[in-house]
Amino acid sequence: MGAKITSSSSSFNVLALLLTLLLCISTNVQLSLADTTSKTYTNYLQTACNSTTYPQLCFKSLSSYTSTIKTNYLKLCRTALTVTLKAASNTSSLVKALSKQKGLSKTEAGIVKDCIEEIGDSIDELNQSLKALGSLKGSDIEFQIANIKTWISAAITDEDTCTEGFEERNITDEVMIKIRKSIVNVARLTSNALALINKLSY
Ligand SMILES: *[C@@H]1O[C@H](CO)[C@@H](O)[C@H](O)[C@H]1NC(C)=O
Ligand SMILES: *[C@@H]1O[C@H](CO)[C@@H](O)[C@H](O)[C@H]1NC(C)=O
Ligand SMILES: *[C@@H]1O[C@H](CO)[C@@H](O)[C@H](O)[C@H]1NC(C)=O
Ligand SMILES: *[C@@H]1O[C@H](CO)[C@@H](O)[C@H](O)[C@H]1NC(C)=O
């Protein structure tokens, strides 16, 4: 009797051990699969970013979206535009807030006022591009992509016009330096988005 109980309990133990082993193996396989997948996505982004004007900024700005982008180039382009639009809206709020601060000279206030307008235009153009990129369809997709490129180029021109206003003067004011940095960042993100979309093919 005693021996029988021991034997069945030991075979139970063996079974439990086997199950535990199986569980461990399958968990490990899943973990390493997830690892490989995430590496694939990261490599995909790195390779795509390598063909942009500012590869490091491209990777940094998009690396938290790899699980959305996966290896889908259209999604990559859309995400890059979305991130750029967000940054531009952010910059617009920053510039608007800073423009209300006292202490800007008349010249500086003029530069900032022009910039608010130019950033606003660039936001509209980026927004239009994003909408078009989200609804590519029909027989004239190449024409639609060409329009998107034109709008993004216009956005870059607007952003450049704004930063040129800064470069013409010897800006030492901290507020102005902060604004300029923020706009330069947006201009670089936009340039990267255009580089990515330039390689979009159908
Ligand atoms: C990206 O470019 C850098 C420098 O040119 C290179 O070292 C790196 O291997 C490239 N990475 C990918 C994923 O293409
Ligand atoms: C928005 O601007 C603030 C202030 O400059 C910055 O700290 C923040 O990281 C920005 N967010 C995005 C999404 O660009
Ligand atoms: C983009 O355009 C839509 C209308 O088409 C508007 O509701 C939205 O606020 C715009 N986004 C930005 C960031 O301007
Ligand atoms: C900019 O202005 C600061 C102080 O007003 C001056 O020290 C500096 O030399 C100027 N730089 C240039 C490039 O003009």
Per-residue pLDDT for 191 more than 60? yes
Distance 101 CA to ligand 1 centre (A): 44
Higher pLDDT, 85 or 8: 85
Q: What's this model's pTM, rounded to 2 decimal places?
A: 0.82
Q: Residue ranges of the alpha helices (H) in 50-173?
A: 55-62, 66-69, 73-99, 106-134, 141-167
Is residue 172 within 6 Å of ligand 4 at its C-beta?
Answer: yes
**Structural domains of the chain ordered from first start:** 55-197 (1.20.140.40)
> Is the model's pLDDT at 68 over the cut of 80?
yes
pLDDT at 1: 47
Cα gap 30→92, rounded to integer Å: 44
What is the structure's pLDDT at 167?
81
Q: How many CB atoms lie within 10 A of CB 64?
A: 10
Tokens of 158: 């607007």
DSSP state letter for 200: -
Q: Is 157 in the pocket of ligand 3 (CB under 6 A)?
A: no
72: left (phi over 0), alpha (psi -120 to 50) or beta: beta
Neighbours of 46 (CB within 10 A): 15
Report the helix count and the strand count for the chain, using DSSP H and E: 7, 0
**Rounded Cα distance, 90 and 70, in Å:** 26
* Gyration radius of the chain over CA positions: 27
Lowest mean pLDDT among 15-29, 109-123, 180-194: 15-29
∠ CA 41-44-50, rounded to 5°: 140
Find out whether the beta carbon of 128 lies less than 6 Å from any atom of ligand 3: no
The span from the first CA to the last CA of the chain, in angstroms, equals: 76
Residue 169: the pLDDT is 74
CB 170 less than 6 A from any atom of ligand 4 = yes
Q: Give the contacts of 123 (CB within 8 A, at least 6 positions apart).
A: 85, 88, 89, 92
